[in-house]
Amino acid sequence: MKKVSACLLPLLALASSQALAQRIEEIVVIGVKDTHTVRTEDTLVAPADTAQLLKKMPGANINKNGELTGIAQYRGMYGNRVNIAINGSKISSGGPNAMDAPLHYAPVALLESLTISRGIAPVSAGQETIGGQIDAVTYAGEFGRSDDFSFDGRAYLGGQSVNQGSVSSGFFSLANDNHLFRGFVMTEQADDSDFADGSITPSEYQRDRFDLGYSYRRGDHEFSIDFTRNNTGDAGTAALPMDIQSVDSDLINAKYQWFGDDLTLTAKFSMNEISHGMSNFHLRRPPQDNAVTAGAMRYRENNASSDNSGFSLKLEQDVDNGYWRYGIDGHFADHDSRVTNPNAGPFFISNFNGADKSILGVYLEREMTLSDSIGLEAGARYNRVNMDSDLVSANLNPTNVATGMPAMLNNMAAMLAKQFNSQNLEQKDNNIDWFSRLSIKTNSNLTWYVGAARKSRSPSYQERYLWIPLESTGGLADGKTYVGNASLDPEVAHEIELGFDWESNGVNIYPRIFYKDVSDFIQGMPASNATVNSLSQMMVNMGMGAPGPLQFTNVEAKFFGMDVESNFALGDRLILRAIASAVRGERKDVNDDLYRITPDNFILALDYLGNNWMLSVENMSYAKQDKVSATNFELETSGYSVVNISSEINLSDDLEIGLGIDNVFDKKHEDHLGGYNRAFNSDIPMRERLPGLGTSVYGRVIWRF
C-alpha cells in the first residue's frame, strides 16, 4: 500500500476500528472528548476566512459580515463573548464593527489547526470565556535532529470560481536541533462573490501578509519570538454601513517554556498595533442626493486604531493523580475611532476616544483521577477589569450655518457629548469564574460527563462608550443605531452540561445537552433619551440610519440546546460522519428571542478512502429560523440544504492536490447569520437578507520541500 497523506490518516485509523484513534486531545486523567479540531492539511477548504471552518464544528457557526469579516458564534453567543486566541494570544479588533475579527489574523493559507473547546472551557483557557474558547495555531516549523542546518518549506496555492479568488503562500524554515528560523509570505485576492441570481456587491477582498520568527531550545528551555505584518486592502462588507479601505497591523508574540521534572513553566507576551480605515463610498455606490440633503454631505470615512498587549504566566505541576495549574494573565486594549467627511473638512465625530479595557486575572485549576473510573477537573478565576474613556466631541455643522438642520444636529450632538463627558466613565468590575467537570467511565466503551460553571464578561468598549447613535456595535449588522451605557453591569452566566462518549467497534458518538442562564445579558433596548431619539430621527430623514435607536441594556436571558458529533466505520474504506447542532436563545424578562441565533443544522457526510486519495460527499442542511428577535426587527429565513463534494490525491509524499465543489446544485438560499444588505445592488434589495453563495469550483495544491 502506498504512503497516504496526513489528511487520510485520521479516517483510516477510524476505519480500522481503533477505539478513540481519531481523538485529538490528550488527557491523562479520566476524561471525555472536550475539543474538536480541524487541521488545514487534513481538510479541503475554499474560503479565505478561517471563521468559515466553524460551520464544520458541533455547536459552532459564523456571523458573516464579509468575505474576510467572520465573527465566531458558539451555542448562540458571539462576538467578544467567545474568547479567541491566535497562537495563545488574544487580539482585539482594530475597528468598532469588528471588520477585522480575531480570526482575520489567522488566514487559512497559514493555519495549522483550529480548535474549539466543546462546552464549558476551563478557567485556564482564557479570561472571558462566557461564550466558549477557540484556539487558532499557525505554522511555526520544526527543529532539526542534529547540529546540521536543513532547509524546509511549504507552498500553498488555491483558487475558487465563486469570486475568481486566488491565494498563494510560502512557508520557509532553516533549522537544526537548537535553532529554528522561519518566514512566511502570502497574497490573496478576489472579486465580488456570486449567488444563484447575481453577485454580492461589494464583496471583493485583497490581503497580503508576511511573518518572520525565530525559536531556540537547549536542555529544558525553549524560547520563540515572531513578528507579523498584515495588510488588508479593499474588502467589501455589504452587511455593514462601510467597507474596508485598509487594515494595517503589526503583531509581536514571544513565548518561553521551561520543562522541569515535575513542573512546566510557560510565559507568553504579545503586542499588536492595528490601524484601520473604512468608507461608505469607495467600493459601494456613494450616497446619492435626496430631497433633504446632498449626497456629498453623507460621505463618511472612519479611521480607527487599536493598541493592545497581553501576557500570561502559567505553572503546571505534575502530582501523583493529575495536575495543578496556577496562572496570572493580562490583556490591555485601547481604542480610537474618528468619523469624517472628505467633502467637508470641519465635519467629525469622535466616535471613541481613548476607550480602554484592561483585564488582569489569576486562576487555580486542578485535574485529577478520583478512582480508576472517575476523573475531576475544577478551577476558579478572578478577573479585575478596569475601563475608561477620554472626553468626546463632534462637529455636525461643517459649514457653520446659524440655523436649519445642520445647526440642530450639531446642538443635539453637543448635548449628548456633554451628557457623556459628565458621567463617571471610569468603571471597575470584579469578576469571579469557576467550573467543575466530572467524568465517569462506566465500561470500556462508555464515559459519562457532567459539567457546571459560573462565567462572566464585562461590557465591551462599544457597549459602554458609544455616546451618539451610530452602528458601531462590534458587528451586530442589524441595521439599527445604538448608544452605549457606561454603568452596565457585567454579564454572569450559570451553566450546566451533560453528555457521554460512546466508542465501540468503529462507532464514535459524542452528544451534549446544555443550559445557560445569563444575568445582566447585554442587549439593545429602545432608547429613552429624547435627544438620542430626535437626533436619530433627523439622521433618518437625511437618508442615514434606521428609526428607533437602541441602547445597550442589562436584561435576563437563557440559552439551551444540544449538539453531537459522530462517525461510523461502514467498512475498511467507507466512513459516515454526522454533526448536528440546535440552540435557542431567549429573553427571560420579556417574551422575545435573541438576535442572530444559528438555526438548527445537520451535516451528513460519506467519505471513501483510497490508497492515496479520498472522496467526500457532504449534505449540509439548515432548518427555517422563525425564532427571531422582535427587538432587532429580525427577519425569518427558510430552511435549505446544499450538497458539497471534495477530493484529495497524493501524487507523492510531498505533493498533494485537492479539488472540490461547494453548493453543487447552485441552491438559492439565505444564510440566517449573513446579515442584511446595506449597499446598493441591483441584484439584492436594500436591507434584505444577504444570500448564501452559489456554486463554487475550487482547488488547492500543497507542495512540501
Mean model confidence pLDDT for the chain: 94
Cβ(691)–Cβ(196) under 8 Å? yes
Residues of the chain with pLDDT under 50: 1-28
Rounded Cα distance, 89 and 514, in Å: 28
Sequence ranges of the domains in the chain:
137-704
Residue whose C-alpha is closest to residue 128's, from 354, 363, 337 = 363
Instruction: Retrieve residue 500's grid coordinates.
Output: 457521554
Q: Which of 1, 107, 143, 172 is nearest to 703 (CA)?
A: 172
Contacts of 375 (CB under 8 A, 6+ apart): 27, 29, 30, 31, 367, 368, 369, 438, 439, 441
Residue type, 598: T
Q: Name which CATH class applies to 137-704.
A: mainly beta
Task: Give the other-Cβ count within 10 Å of 535's Cβ.
Answer: 25
pLDDT, residue 467, reads 98
Q: Residue 9: what pLDDT?
A: 36
Percentage of the residues of the chain whose pLDDT score is greater than 90: 91
The distance between the two most distant Cα atoms of the chain, rounded to a whole number of Å, is 85
What angle do the packed helices 530-541 and 405-421 form, to 10 degrees?
150
Residue type, 127: Q
- CA-CA distance, 505 to 567, in Å (whole number)? 11
Pairing of strands 482-483, 550-569: parallel
In angstroms, rounded to a whole number, what is the distance separating the alpha carbons of residues 376 and 321? Answer: 10
Tens of pLDDT, residues 578-604: 999 999 999 999 999 999 999 999 999
Pairwise CA distance, residues 39 & 368, whole Å: 29
360 by DSSP, 3-state: which? strand
Tell me how far apart the alpha carbons of residues 166 and 185 are, in angstroms, rounded to a whole number: 14
Closest Cα to residue 90, out of 354, 243, 279, 271? 271
Distances (CA, A) of 120 to 102, 117, 195, 435, 596: 21, 7, 37, 8, 22
Residue 399 is placed in which grid cell?
A: 459649514
Cα angle for residues 116, 121, 127 (degrees, 5° grid) = 105
Grid coordinates representing 346? 470641519
The pLDDT of residue 403: 81
DSSP string, 104-172: GGS-TTTEEEEEEE-SSPPGGG-S--TT-EEEEEE------SSSS-EEEEEEEEEEETTTTEEEEEEEE
Pick the closest to residue 40 from 173, 136, 172 (CA basis): 136
Task: Specify the pTM.
Answer: 0.94
CA–CA distance from 293 to each of 285, 396, 469, 543, 544 (Å)? 17, 13, 19, 8, 11
